Amino acid sequence: MSQLSLQEIIDIVEKLKKHFRSSLENLDDVDHAKALESETLSKKGSIASLNRQLGSLDQELRQSAGAVINQARAELSADYEKALSKLLVQARIKELESEKLDLSETVFDSSFRSGRTHLITRTRQELEDIFIGMGFTVEEGPEVETDWYNFEALNIPPYHPARAGQDSFYLKHGQPESMLLRTHTSPVQIRVMTSQQPPIYAVMPGRVYRRDTADARHTPAFHQIEGLVVDKGITFANLAGTIETFTKAIFGPNIVSRLRPGFFPFTEPSAEFEVTCAICEGAGCRTCSGTGWIELGGCGMIDPNVFGAVGLDPEVWNGFAFGFGIDRLAQMRYAISDMRVLLDNDVRFLRQF
Ligand code: DAH
């Protein structure tokens, strides 16, 4: 090969640069850019082969030409890196676009049924939310209880009818009649008071069991929510206000509550609390036997004997408790005439809510 002049080398390099840059500009794909890079800048590329030709030049020319080529290589490498990172970003954007899920294409298919929360669970969650909003905590206790928690600590005497075999499900475990399925959520009051220091503001929802024959208003397993407040200087007015606040929150402004004197061994004084019948809004109907009121639960000021059982000084602490049926409340709220449908798991019923 004849000797190249410096000018000729500069011309070749310029042409090569021009070609490289215009190719780079027109590329829209990472693989092509990599191919162009290898073709031009790799060990087997055109710049390297030009370099190899310098071997036959005399030293001075070789040095100047080498500098021109090295300079070009550096410039083109920088151009390539810049273009490559741009192409990589574009490729990533394209990839993400192609992976995007178009959810708007989901066509509503009326044969498709999704599951949902059971009415009782939903009512329980709503009650929890209301009480949490009022500053209460939510506590739970076991469904299998001892006689002490379910009865004795609650000041329920041995001759109380709830203790009778025909009312409670006793378990064959330990001493006869020492273990049972809890008949109410009130034993959780005892568990909370023996494990926490007052002040206590807690609600305790859960399943309870009684040997009732199922009918329109009873099922052998049902749900209650218990409320417990232990603090200093609590009054009956605080209890009535709490019940009225939750009644309004769950039933809306047209329903009010009222307390009637009642008796429970663990509260003194005790009351039964009733709410306006939601079906007739107080006018009187079959569901409320014409009275305009539906009984929801019981309540009262905590009996000093209960404080004694859990080791709290009734001279220092006082408070109130309440308990009512969640199923009964849901029955009222959704005007369900027969409670048994809540347990049948018939989806034709469950789907309505
Ligand atoms: N445990 C009672 C029941 O199942 C309901 C009840 C009444 C709970 C009065 C209370 C209360 O906390 O103070 O019939």
Tell which residue, 218, 199, 200, 201, has the closest CA to residue 209.
Answer: 218
Q: What's the pLDDT at 166? A: 66
Would the CB of 319 count as within 6 Å of ligand 1? Answer: no
Q: Does the beta carbon of 273 lie inside 6 Å of ligand 1?
A: no
322 Cβ below 6 A of ligand 1: yes
The set of residues, in sequence order, having a beta carbon less than 8 Å from that of 114 and lying 6+ positions away, is: none
pLDDT higher at 48 or 182: 182
348 — pLDDT class (breaks 50, 70, 90): confident
pLDDT tens string 203-233: 999 999 999 888 877 889 999 999 999 999 9
Q: How many angstroms does the Cα of residue 185 sit away from the middle of ligand 1?
A: 8
Radius of gyration for the chain, computed over Cα atoms and rounded to the nearest angstrom? 41
Q: Which residues pair with 272 in a beta bridge?
A: 260, 298
CA nearest neighbour of 205 among 302, 134, 142, 139: 139
User: Rounded mean pLDDT of 24-51?
Assistant: 89
Cis peptide bond N-terminal to 158, omega within 30: no
**Maximum distance among all alpha carbons in the chain?**
125
Q: What is the mean pLDDT of residues 9-23?
A: 91
Burial class from Cβ neighbours inside 10 Å (0-12, 13-18, 19+) for residue 41 reads: middle
Measured from the Cα of 224, ligand 1's closest atom is: 4
pLDDT in tens, 124-149: 999 999 999 999 999 999 999 999 99
Indicate the residue type of 286: R
Q: Is 76 helix (H, G, I), strand (E, B) or coil?
A: helix
Q: Which of the two residues, 132 and 339, has the higher pLDDT score?
A: 132
Backbone φ, ψ for residue 181 (5° rounding)? -75, 130
pLDDT (average), residues 331-341: 82
Give residue-wise pLDDT tens across range 51-81.
888 888 888 888 888 899 999 999 999 999 9
| Structure token pair of residue 25 | 């500009």
Q: Within a 10 A sphere around the Cβ of 247, how many other Cβ atoms?
A: 21
Q: What is the mean pLDDT of the chain?
A: 90
Contacts of 12 (CB under 8 A, 6+ apart): 4, 50
Quote the ligand 1 centre to 265 CA distance (angstroms).
9
Of residues 157 and 19, the one with the higher pLDDT is 19
Percentage of the residues of the chain whose pLDDT score is greater than 70: 97
> pLDDT tens across 275-307, in order?
988 878 889 888 788 999 989 999 999 999 999
Handedness of CA 94, 98, 103, 105 (dihedral sign): positive
The per-residue pLDDT for range 86-130, each reduced to its tens digit, is 999 999 999 999 888 877 766 667 777 778 889 999 999 999 999
Give the predicted TM-score (pTM) of the model: 0.68
Task: Answer yes or no: is pLDDT of 1 > 90.
Answer: no
Mean of the pLDDT values across residues 169-173?
93
Alpha helices in 134-235 (DSSP H): 147-150, 186-195
Helices (H) and strands (E) in the chain, counts: 12, 9
Query: Ligand 1 center to residue 306 CA distance, Å?
Result: 13
